[in-house]
Each structure stands twice: as C-alpha cells, then as structure tokens.
C-alpha cells in the first residue's frame, strides 16, 4: 500500500508526498510552495522522482518552477491547463493511465471539471489525489465550470470503491462539517466526524484523508440523491428540487453565502 504524507503549505494547503515507504524516491502532488517541500525532503532523506499537478491555481503550482531548478523530475499535469501551468512534460486527461515505476503504481486520470475547467484527479491503489475537486466533507468552489459539470465530476469520484482514501488539497474540514450539519442536523455520521476531526486538529494533525465510504455518509455535495439533503436544498431554494445538478448548485451557493 502506498504511503501518502502531508506537507502543510501556505495557509491551509496540503502538498502530498507519495511513496512506497521503503525507497527514497517520491512523487510530489500540487507543490504550491517550494520551501516546505525542500525542508521535508531534507529531513526525511527523500528525492523527488515525479510531480503530479491537478489544476492551474497558484496555491497548487506556485512552487513547481523553483523546485524543478534543484529537483528535476517529470511533471504530470492536466492537458487542458498545461500551457497555463508551464513545465508539464506529460499532458494527461480523463481515461489516461500511466505507471510510476519507482512507486510500482499505475495512476488513472479522472476529469473533474468545475473548480477549474481542466481539473483532473489521480486514482491509484485506493488513493485518490483529488486537488480542489473533493475535500473531506466538502468540495471546491465552482469557479470556471457549471454546477452540472461539477456535480457530474463528483459523481465520477463517488463511483470509486468505498475504501478509497481521499486526499484533497485543503484543510477545510471543520468548516465543511459545520455546513454539513446545517444541511443535515440529524445526521449522526456528521456528528461522529466532527468529534473525530476536532480531536485530530486539536492534536495538530491533518483531518485528511477521509474515505469515500465516510464521504458518502457525511458530505452534502455527494448526497444530492439523499432524501434529507434534497429536502433541505428544496426548503432553502423555496421550491421542490429534483435535478442532481440543481440540488448540487443550491447547496454550493448556500455554502458560499455562509
């Protein structure tokens, strides 16, 4: 099983370091900043053998050019945003697969437009590198795509196996859970997640990853077809909602206004 470690960066980003645990060669996911990665490598005696990029936002790629100068390695990134990002050696898109031999792992690329239009996620060996598409108990804001697009992207991620560990790009979980409980005050799984996450954060530990099994129980943005979530979104909208994209959109706007 792959090991995935968090390097906290900027105010609330995580740069994920993927390794086998018994080799010094690692993949670095979404390096929004260089310095914390350099420190982490030095502290643990690691070397970068690949970079994986999910989307073009600065808090995910801001450290890439400077890391490449001292730690050259192949860069995988979204084909549709490669020109914007620069330094992408392998332009990948949904349905593509590639193998990183140093990890003994094959990655499947999933298109998840919505937060940005070219946003991709990487899935391998029960590990989902989700960028700003899916967080624990939440999802990214819809900046470039439509609500329908984002809902369809999340449906694609929701179809992955329940035991998938979800590594999103931000520590937003406590705020996400506060919103989740606003939508579903009677959902006991959300209460349990709040206790779990509060304990992790009090201990200075990341609340990520979540599992897809848990996400399906607590994340309102994956629960458009749950009766309680649909009813809550309908009450909020002031009319009966049925369409998944519309339910998602009402929830997204509701959270953005919170």
List active site positions: 55, 57, 59-60, 115, 132, 170
CB of 85 to Fe ion, least distance (A): 14
Residue 132 in the binding site for Fe ion (CB under 5 A): yes
**3-class SS of residue 116:** coil
**Closest among 97, 80, 79 to 89, alpha carbons compared:** 79
Q: How many CB atoms lie within 10 A of CB 12?
A: 12
Q: Which residues bind Zn ion (CB under 5 A)?
A: 57, 132
Q: By rule CB under 5 A, what string of x and - marks binding of each residue 214-233 to Fe ion?
A: --------------------
CB of 235 to Fe ion, least distance (A): 31
Query: Which CB atom, from 18 or from 139, has the smaller least distance to Zn ion?
Result: 139
The contacts of residue 22 (CB under 8 Å, 6+ apart) are none
- Interaction residues for Fe ion, span 145-164 (CB under 5 A): none
Write phi, then psi, for 187 (nearest 5 degrees): -85, 105
Select the binding partner of residue 171 from Fe ion, Zn ion, none (C-beta < 5 to 8 A, by kind): none
CB of 18 to Zn ion, least distance (A): 19
Residue 81 in the binding site for Fe ion (CB under 5 A): no
Q: Binding Fe ion by CB under 5 A: which of 59, 81, 111, 123?
A: 59
To which residue do tokens 């070397």 refer? 47
CB of 59 to Fe ion, least distance (A): 4
Segment interacting with Fe ion, rule: CB under 5 A, options 19-27, 54-62, 75-83, 99-107 = 54-62
Inter-residue contact 126 to 163 (CB < 8 Å)? yes
Query: Which CB atom, from 168 or from 209, has the smaller least distance to Zn ion?
Result: 168
Query: Which CB atom, from 57 or from 147, has the smaller least distance to Zn ion?
Result: 57
Give dist(CA 166, CA 207) in Å, integer.
11
Query: Which CB atom, from 132 or from 246, has the smaller least distance to Fe ion?
Result: 132
Half-sphere CA count of 202, side-chain side, radius 13 A: 6
Give dist(CA 192, CA 63) in Å, integer.
36
CA-to-CA dists, residue 185 to 182, 188, 210, 238, angstroms: 6, 8, 20, 19
To which residue do tokens 């697969």 refer? 97
Query: Which CB atom, from 173 or from 181, has the smaller least distance to Fe ion?
Result: 173
Residues in touch with Fe ion (CB under 5 A) = 59, 132, 169
């Amino acid at each position: 099983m792959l090991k995935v470690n968090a390097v906290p960066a900027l105010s609330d980003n995580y740069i994920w370091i993927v390794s086998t645990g018994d080799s010094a060669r690692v993949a670095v996911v979404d390096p929004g900043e260089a310095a914390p990665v350099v420190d982490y490598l030095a502290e643990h005696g690691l070397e970068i053998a690949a970079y994986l990029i999910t989307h073009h936002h600065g808090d995910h790629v801001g450290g890439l050019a400077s890391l490449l100068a001292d730690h050259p390695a192949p860069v995988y990134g979204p084909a549709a945003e490669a020109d914007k990002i620069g330094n992408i050696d392998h332009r990948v898109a949904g349905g593509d697969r590639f193998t990183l031999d140093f990890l003994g792992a094959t990655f499947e690329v999933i298109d998840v437009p919505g937060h940005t239009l070219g946003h991709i996620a990487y899935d391998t060996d029960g590990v989902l590198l989700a960028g700003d598409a899916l967080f624990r108990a939440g999802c990214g804001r819809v900046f470039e795509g439509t609500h329908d697009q984002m809902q369809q992207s999340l449906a694609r991620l929701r179809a992955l196996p329940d035991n998938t560990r979800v590594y999103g790009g931000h520590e937003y979980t406590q705020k996400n859970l506060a919103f989740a409980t606003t939508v579903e005050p009677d959902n006991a799984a959300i209460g349990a997640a709040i206790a779990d996450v509060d304990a992790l954060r009090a201990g200075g530990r990341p609340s990520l990853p979540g599992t897809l099994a848990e996400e399906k129980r607590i994340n309102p943005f994956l629960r458009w077809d749950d009766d309680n979530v649909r009813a809550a979104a309908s009450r909020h909208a002031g009319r009966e909602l049925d369409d998944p994209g519309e339910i998602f959109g009402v929830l997204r706007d509701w959270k953005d206004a919170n």
